[in-house]
Amino acid sequence: PSSFGGKLNITDATQSTSITTGAITVAGGVGIGKNLNVGGNGDVDGTFNVDGATTIKNTLSVDQAVSLA
């Protein structure tokens, strides 16, 4: 494994349209120890689990069944 001790800044602005395109692509998983801020749209093609409070500040669209526990 490689380690970096400081901030990593990537200036490539290539748009992502799939899991294999964009300024950064990762073949394996990604672990993030602090906040994640996304400036554009998000797309999840698998299960999306949230452990904690969730706030939706705009419209929520659901295409299939919803199960609330």
Cβ 42 vs Cβ 56: under 8 Å? no
Q: What are 28-60's pLDDT values in tens digits?
A: 999 999 999 999 999 999 999 999 999 999 999
Residue 6 has what pLDDT? Answer: 92
**69, pLDDT greater than 90:** no
Rounded Cα distance between 34 and 7, Å, is: 14
**20, pLDDT greater than 90:** yes
Give me the count of residues in the chain.
Answer: 69
Token pair in block for residue 66 = 């919803």
Q: What are 23-34's pLDDT values in tens digits?
A: 999 999 999 999
Helices (H), the chain: none
- Residues contacting residue 45 through CB under 8 Å, at least 6 positions apart: 19
